[in-house]
Amino acid sequence: MSFEMWTEKYRPRSLEEIMNQKEIVERLKSFTNARNIPHCIFAGPPGTGKTTAALCLAHDLYGEGWREHLMELNASDERGINVVRETVKTFARTRSIGEIPFKILILDEADNMTSDAQQALRRTMERFTETCRFILICNYSGKIIEPIQSRCAPFRFSYLRREDHDTYLRAIVEKENVELPDTGLNAIFDVCEGDLRKAVNTLQAAASLDREINSETVYSVVGRANPTDVKDMITQAMKGEFIEARKQLRDMIVRSGVAGSDIIKQIHSEIFRSGLPDKWKIRLADAVGEIDFRMVQGANEEVQLSALLARLGEAGLEMKRGS
């Protein structure tokens, strides 16, 4: 028996197979029909099909040998200006052999590029438009510099609708011969919130545990993937045990490799699940939201989250005094 990561095994190969983001797919199809594409920006949350759409576009445009006309770079791994100067330029300036005179360069996680690198990229995009089209993929198009944005056709991806999400997962379980009752499906959507990569990874991990995937299986996967006792950490912080709380936070991030965005999501839901007075839930939501935003801006996760823990400690004191 051969196994792959299901995210790859069931990744659509052609635009025809993409079931969500209908409007975007229609526009992309018109590009492939015209056998020409502009520079593009695909922006949107994780797991909504941005990379897939880019790969499918290339596939549909070039046909079978599509990989030869394509280069995929990831700005998180190669974010410096030298990559733009060397790798990108070398690829962009050589002419493609075949019917279509240009190649495609997919630059994933482009919002992680330094603005220096983006400036260099902007010139490269201009100079080599004839021979190369760029698809920039990012979570937030706001982090792409204005001159690049204005040279690209923008596409905004949004979270999958519930029925698309369900259809996609049901198709997988059918082929993989596992069972996914509604409780399991609901649990996955509840946890992954329409992030399809996360949903499929959760599904596969759950399938490795059991042939029937109910909500219990799902939650045990989630618990093991994110071994975070956020609840205890919050309790410590509110008791004023900041140093202990920060130590727990550090273990989660450094040793268990939990993403800061997951931790703050859990802190948020933990606060609303707690027995705190509503007035305080709202006050704390403001604090959580502010820190969430700061992390998105590219600050250090541990520093930001521990500032939140300190705020929780302050709130704990204020509550005790009844303000």
Partner 1 sequence: MHAAWTVKHKPHSLSEVIGNSNAIQKLSKWVKSWEKGVPKKRAAFLYGPPGVGKTVSVETMANDSGMELVERNASDYRTADAVERFAGLASQYGTLDGRRRLILLDEMDGITGTADRGGVRAAIEVVKEARCPVVLAANDAYDRKFSTLRKYCLLIEFSKPTVLQIASHLKRICRQEGIEADDNVLKFVAERSGRDVRSAVNDLQALAQGRKRLTHEDVSWLAERDRKEVIFNILRTVFYSGDTWEAKKASDAADVDADMLFEWIYENVPRHFTDPRDLARAMNALSLADIYRGRIRSTQNWSLLKYVFDFMIGGVAVARERSKPGGWVPFKFPGRIMVMGQTKGLRARQSSIGMKIRKRCHISSVRAVKEVIPYLRIIFESNAEMAAGLTSWLDLDEDMLEYLAGGKRQANAIAKRLA
User: Contacting partner 1 (CB under 8 A), which of 23, 150, 278, 298?
Assistant: 298
Binding residues for partner 1 restricted to 44-73, rule: CB under 8 A: 46, 51, 55, 72
Least separation in angstroms between residue 143's CB and partner 1 is 8
Q: What is the 3-state secondary structure (H, E, C) of 111-140?
A: HHCCHHHHHHHHHHHHHCCCCEEEEEEECC
Binding residues for partner 1 restricted to 186-225, rule: CB under 8 A: 197-198, 201-202, 204-205, 207-209, 221, 224-225
Binding residues for partner 1 restricted to 136-175, rule: CB under 8 A: 143
The separation between the first and the last C-alpha atoms of the chain, rounded to the nearest angstrom, is 63
* Selection from 5, 60, 301 nearest residue 176 by Cα: 5
Contacting residues for 33 by C-beta, under 8 A, at least 6 apart: none
Neighbour tally for 149: CB within 10 Å: 15
User: Contacting partner 1 (CB under 8 A), which of 24, 246, 263, 266?
Assistant: 246
Q: Is 254 in the site for partner 1 (CB under 8 A)?
A: yes
212, β-bridge pairs: 179
Binding residues for partner 1 restricted to 12-51, rule: CB under 8 A: 46, 51
Q: Please give the backbone phi and psi of residue 54, each rounded to the nearest 5 degrees, phi first.
A: -65, -45
Q: Please give the backbone phi and psi of residue 70, each rounded to the nearest 5 degrees, phi first.
A: -130, 140
Q: Is 3 in the site for partner 1 (CB under 8 A)?
A: yes
Nearest residue (CB) to partner 1, 39 versus 198: 198
Q: Is 314 in the site for partner 1 (CB under 8 A)?
A: yes
Nearest residue (CB) to partner 1, 4 versus 99: 4
> Between the CA atoms of 14, 5, 80 and 305, what dihedral angle is there, to the nearest 10 degrees?
120
User: Contacting partner 1 (CB under 8 A), which of 14, 82, 94, 114?
Assistant: 114
Q: Is 285 in the site for partner 1 (CB under 8 A)?
A: no
Token duo for residue 79 = 């974010």
CA pair distance 296, 139, nearest whole angstrom: 10
Binding site for partner 1 (CB under 8 A): 1-5, 7-8, 11, 46, 51, 55, 72, 74-77, 108-109, 114-116, 143, 197-198, 201-202, 204-205, 207-209, 221, 224-226, 240, 242-243, 246-247, 250, 254-255, 257-259, 291, 294, 297-300, 302-304, 306-307, 309-311, 313-314, 316-317
